[in-house]
Structure 1
Amino acid sequence: MTRVPLIDPATATGAAAEQLAATRQTLGVIPNMATAMANSPAALQGFLGLFGALKQGVLPAATQERIALAVAEANGCAYCLSAHTMVSRNAVKLPEEEITAARRGHSLDAKSEAVLHLALAITRNRGPVDKETFDAARQAGLSDEEIVEVIANVARNIFTNYVNEALDVDVEWPLVTPFERTASSATREA
């Protein structure tokens, strides 16, 4: 059960109501994550601002979804894995093998593979990236703009992973469990 109240858009007032309306306009839906985040309208506004800005960036939606899947898997966030698996399948139309590969930090596309290696290095090292990973991103053709947007997408996804995990937000999407938790559960049951 979510650790903070989920702010009901139908009864919300003031800044929370404004940001929940902006959420529907930006995302097309108001997910549980947003209703939890609406406890701080400023936090929800910040998320929506970054989301909207990156949507207009140079990284294609499929690349942004691959990053979201890889970062959610690395952080063990079932909420974000569930939401981004659904978006990847239904909105972006990534093939199932690409969704699974992205969760593991890989892609059949060389440039996407380099993006994911960079994104996971940033995630796991909390910012620092070794020369080899950075050079590999350059060699795969990533521009300065793309590299900065990879960093911004990682930050956005870490924020939502942390919100969902710290607040234990109820997952309203078809549940996708991180590989590590799935393996742990199978080991315990055996």
Structure 2
Amino acid sequence: MSRIQLLDPATASPAAAEQLAITKQAFGTVPNMFATVAHSPAAHAAMNGFFAALGKGALAGKVGEQVAIAVAHINGCQYCLSAHTAIGGMHRVSEANLESARHGDSDDPMARAAMGLALEIVRTRGRVSDSALAHARLAGLDDAAIVEVVAHVALNVFTNYLNNLAQTTIDFPVIALESAA
């Protein structure tokens, strides 16, 4: 049971209702995570904007979803692990890569490099070593992609922590954290 109740659009403030409508337009539905964050229209607007902007970035789609899976796994967020596994499938990430993304691996060198950097950012709280950064660059990440990896980490840490705190009810096919470990 969720520790923060889902905000009902019928009783939402005008600002919250506006953000819920933006979410529904973008996703075709309002996932439970968005109905949870909607209690704060400011946080919801930030999250909607972050998803929209990163969706148009260099690491959008397949790579971004694999980064999200890796970060969700390391942060123990079953909601985000489940959501991004489902969304990754919609982006045609293979089943093998969806599974290996939990551990920061992929048969796509760009995805592997982005996940490796993302996991290092999470582990070191952004204090990535010169050698880890050089490794990411050698693997093909330029400065723009590196900044975008940091942005993906920031967004996913926010959503992971929110869902872990709220214990948001999972409204995607559930991926067990135990099978991800």
Q: Which bracket does the TM-score occupy, shorter chain normalised?
A: over 0.9
Report the alpha carbon displacement of residue 41 of structure 1 after superposing the two structures with TM.
0.8
1:45–1:179 Cα change, 3 Å: same
Mapping of residues 35-46 of structure 1, within 5 Å = 35-46=35-46
CA-to-aligned-CA distance 1:56-89 (integer Å, 9 cap, x gap)? 1111310000000000000000000111111111
- Residue 100 of structure 2 aligns with which residue? 101
Mapping of residues 22-101 of structure 1, within 5 Å = 22-89=22-89, 91-101=90-100
1:60–1:42 Cα change, 3 Å: closer
1:165 is aligned to 2:164 = yes
Structure number with greater Rg is 1
Report the alpha carbon displacement of residue 132 of structure 1 after superposing the two structures with TM.
1.7
RMSD: 1.4
Q: Distance in 1 between matches of 2:95 and 2:19?
A: 33
CA-to-aligned-CA distance 1:137-176 (integer Å, 9 cap, x gap)? 1101111111100000010011000010001111111111
1:5 is aligned to 2:43 = no
What SS does the corresponding residue of 1:5 show, helix, strand or coil? coil
Contiguous gaps of at least 5 residues in structure 2: none
**Amino acid in the other structure paired with 1:158:** V
- Residue 144 of structure 1 aligns with which residue? 143
CA-to-aligned-CA distance 1:84-134 (integer Å, 9 cap, x gap)? 111111x10111110111111111122221111100000111111112211
Q: Distance in 2 between matches of 1:160 and 1:21?
A: 19
After TM superposition, the structure 1 stretch with the greater mean CA deviation from structure 2, 129-138 or 69-78, is 129-138
After TM superposition, the structure 1 stretch with the greater mean CA deviation from structure 2, 118-127 or 7-16, is 7-16
Q: Distance in 1 between matches of 2:32 and 2:157?
A: 17
- Residue 174 of structure 2 aligns with which residue? 175
Report the alpha carbon displacement of residue 4 of structure 1 after superposing the two structures with TM.
1.7
Q: Distance in 2 between matches of 1:39 and 1:87?
A: 24
Contiguous gaps of at least 5 residues in structure 1: 184-190
Q: Which runs of 4+ in 1 moved over 3 A?
A: none
- Residue 124 of structure 1 aligns with which residue? 123
Does structure 2 conserve the Cα–Cα contact (< 8 Å) formed by 1:73 and 1:179? Answer: no
- Residue 186 of structure 1 aligns with which residue? none
